[in-house]
Structure 1
Amino acid sequence: MEQFEYTLETFIEGFGWLAPLLFVLLHLLRPLLFLPVILVCVIGGLVFGFWEGALLSFIGLSLMSLVSYLLVNKFPKFRKKMSDLKNRMFSDRKISVGQVMILRIMPFVHFHLLSLYLMEMTKTRKEYMYYSMLGLIAPAIIYTAFGEAITEFPWYVSLTLFLVLALAYVVIGKMNQVRLNVGLTNPKKRP
């Protein structure tokens, strides 16, 4: 790992002032290269340090969210593929914005699938980008700061972290369901 880290740092430092731009571009090319978000953010932390790495990851992920929005709205085949994936993974399941934000923290949940959920929950591109960017703050910070540590945790610590996130996902879902049920009942229609 140390050799990889050194080689990567040398490679990126060779680009000088273009390195941050290339790193943001790596975020945009990440889906084509089949790289997980966590890996790219960890690389950002290793090469640029915590603050700059987190900021660059946030910018790259935000631009990727915009690209997702444009792909889904400009290419009906892409939207159909994403809808089919959504139906296979979460058939007949309604999730809240808060749950999408929790799922964004989980390392191997499909980025574009979560973007599709946000698109369906929002009315405009501006609203979509607001919630999308809000939901990208935590992963950019967590993955950049703790990405390397998370990948080196013992299996039981990783499992515990996953279970805590899953529990938060379920609790937010239940709270959202209660809110929806309360909002759907009409006190005027009671006998």
Structure 2
Amino acid sequence: MDETMTVLFVFIESTGILAPIVFICLHLIRPFLFVPVPVVCIVGGILFGSVFGTLYSLLGLTILSVIFYVLYKRVPKLSSKINQLKQKWLGNKVNFTMGQISILRLIPFINFHLLSLCIIDVTRNFRQYTKGSFYTNIPVALFYTVFGQFIREFSTMMIIVILLSLTLLFYLLREKQVIIKWHEFFKPKAGRSYY
């Protein structure tokens, strides 16, 4: 991870006045380079400081979310692949709230685009999706940009405490009701007949 950050740091720093544009573009190509979101945000904090690093990361992540939405709606093969991934990892009865999605975005090993699909599921149109993406990207951009340099120095116990705190927040921000459709509730069990 340190090598990846060093390479990104040197590359962006060498671009001079175009560094913010290159940094935002780095967020857009990040999925193809298999670089985690936190790494890019940490580099943004080091290069641009807390305020501008957070703003550039937020802008880059929101543009990436919008591109994902457009591709998801326009490319059926991608849509089916992402839906299969969601079915495999989350099942079909999971509806996260925006607060839960914000918490999950803070956890580095959870797929960013899978959470974008969860936002698509809870919003009605492009405008709501963009607004939801923007708000759920704020915590990840802010947290990893501002506190990124300190996270590397945390002990294992401190990281476990942070993850447990995020798990507790995730539970507290859950949706308080579950809606089961009539035909799913009364679905007959395999091998059993009521006639």
Same fold (TM over 0.5): yes
Instruction: Tell me which residue corresponds to 2:133.
Output: 132
Tell me, yes or no, if structure 1 residue 95 matches structure 2 residue 96: yes
Instruction: Tell me which residue corresponds to 1:71.
Output: 71
d(CA) in 1 for partners of 2:53, 2:123: 29
TM-score, length of structure 1 as denominator length: 0.85
Gap change, CA 1:21 and 1:163, over 3 Å in 2: same
Tell me, yes or no, if structure 1 residue 86 matches structure 2 residue 50: no
Tell me, what secondary structure is at the counterpart of 2:137? helix
Instruction: Tell me which residue corresponds to 1:46.
Output: 46
The alpha carbon displacement at 1:97 in A equals 1.9
d(CA) in 1 for partners of 2:3, 2:34: 23
Instruction: Tell me which residue corresponds to 2:123.
Output: 122
Gap change, CA 1:68 and 1:11, over 3 Å in 2: closer
CA deviations on 1:21-61 (whole Å, 9 max, x unpaired) are 00000000000000000000001111111111111100100
Instruction: Tell me which residue corresponds to 1:177.
Output: 176
The alpha carbon displacement at 1:79 in A equals 1.1
Gapped regions of structure 2 (runs ≥ 5): 180-195
d(CA) in 1 for partners of 2:2, 2:71: 38
| RMSD (Å) for aligned C-alpha atoms | 2.2
- In the alignment, is the contact (CA less than 8 A) between 2:66 and 2:130 conserved in 1? yes
- In the alignment, is the contact (CA less than 8 A) between 1:5 and 1:46 conserved in 2? no
d(CA) in 1 for partners of 2:95, 2:3: 45
d(CA) in 2 for partners of 1:108, 1:120: 21
Equivalent position amino acid for 2:48 in 1: F
More helix by share: 1
Gapped regions of structure 1 (runs ≥ 5): 182-191
- In the alignment, is the contact (CA less than 8 A) between 1:8 and 1:47 conserved in 2? no
Count how many residue pairs are aligned between Structure 1 and Structure 2. 178
